[in-house]
Amino acid sequence: MSTYSPDYLKVLNDYPENFARFITRVPGIPTSTDRMSVISALTPTHEAVLEEGGIAPKMLRRAQQVHGNKVALVGDIGCSYPVEGVDGLICGGKADCCLGIYVADCAAIWIYDPVTQSRGLIHSGKLGTQQNIVGETLTAMYKILGVQASDCIAVISPCIRPPHYEVDIVTKIKQELVDAGVAAENITDSGLDTAADLESFYSYRIEKGNTGRMLALFGRNPAAEDAE
Q: How far apart (Å, rounded) are the C-alpha atoms in residues 122 and 82?
A: 14
C-alpha atoms less than 13 angstroms from C-alpha of 181 in its C-beta half-sphere: 14
> For the stretch 111-128, what's the b/e string if a residue is b when 16 or more beta carbons lie within 10 angstroms of its beta carbon?
bbbeebbbbbbbbbbbeb
Q: What is the pLDDT of residue 81?
A: 78
Q: Tell me what the pLDDT averaged over the chain comes to.
A: 95
What domains lie within the chain, and their CATH numbers? 2-222 (3.60.140.10)
Q: Beta strands 88-91 and 71-73: pairing type? A: parallel
- Cα 197 to the center of its chain, rounded Å: 19
Q: pTM for the whole thing?
A: 0.96
Q: Which amino acid is at 43?
A: T
| Mean per-residue pLDDT, 207-221 | 97
Residue 10: which residues within 8 A CB-CB, separation 6 or more? none
Residue 118: which residues within 8 A CB-CB, separation 6 or more? 90, 91, 92, 93, 112, 141, 145, 147
> Tens of pLDDT along 115-149?
999 999 999 999 999 999 999 999 999 999 999 99
Q: How far apart (Å, rounded) are the C-alpha atoms in residues 87 and 121?
A: 9
- Distance between start and end Cα atoms, the chain: 25
Q: How far apart (Å, rounded) are the C-alpha atoms in residues 158 and 24?
A: 9
Could you count the other beta carbons within 10 Å of the beta carbon of residue 200?
14
> Tens of pLDDT along 53-106?
999 999 999 999 999 999 999 998 765 679 999 999 999 999 999 999 999 999
Q: Are 99 and 110 in contact (CB under 8 A)?
A: no
Residue 59: which residues within 8 A CB-CB, separation 6 or more? 50, 76, 96, 97, 98, 219
Percent of all residues in the chain with a pLDDT value above 90, rounded to a whole number = 93
Residue 48: which residues within 8 A CB-CB, separation 6 or more? 1
